[in-house]
Amino acid sequence: MKDKRRGLFSLFNLNSEQLNDGQGKIELVSCPHLGEGCKKHISEINESFLASNKYFRNSEYSRAIEELKSAFYTTNEINTNSCISCAELFRSTIQESLENIHEDLQKMTSGIFRRKQYQSSYELATEVLDEFRKRSNH
């Protein structure tokens, strides 16, 4: 379902591979409005994605989660009617990234080799995911 939905939006290129510093997660490919409704927001979202990726690589999971949360709320500032579907796509991409972090943290905090040091980050990820899901249902 997620892959099909991405194919519907050719306006943006969503890079799901590991981000390199300076590389944006969301890039404007083509837009009938030349991205005027969301260029500034895409830049802010990408900055948050890059910071989140950096924190994740450094095992600073709570900070990575907070950056994704910031990116998610930045999408709410995109209010041009022609950009609403793109904002929804951005939110689903951000939520998917957080779900991946949540899954990794769940593996690290359960089982024989669990680490209690990541429990608070796991709980934060759970809380923020719930928050995202509630906002998406409205």
- Give per-residue pLDDT as tens, 106-122: 999 987 877 888 999 99
Question: Highest mean pLDDT: which of 39-43, 60-64, 84-88?
Answer: 60-64
Euclidean distance between CA atoms 122 and 135, whole angstroms? 20
Number of neighbouring beta carbons within 10 Å of residue 111: 9
Contact 20, 57 (CB under 8 A): no
pLDDT value at 10 more than 80: no
Contact 55, 61 (CB under 8 A): yes
29 Cβ neighbours under 8 A, 6+ residues apart: 10, 11, 12, 13
Euclidean distance between CA atoms 67 and 63, whole angstroms? 6
Euclidean distance between CA atoms 66 and 36, whole angstroms? 27
134 Cβ neighbours under 8 A, 6+ residues apart: none
Spans of all domains in the chain = 2-136
Mean pLDDT for the stretch of residues 44-68: 95
pLDDT class of 32 with cuts at 50, 70, 90: low
Q: Which two tokens stand for residue 78?
A: 């995109």
105: amino acid identity, one letter: L
pLDDT value at 12 more than 50: no
pLDDT value at 46 more than 60: yes
Q: What percent of the chain has pLDDT over 70?
A: 74
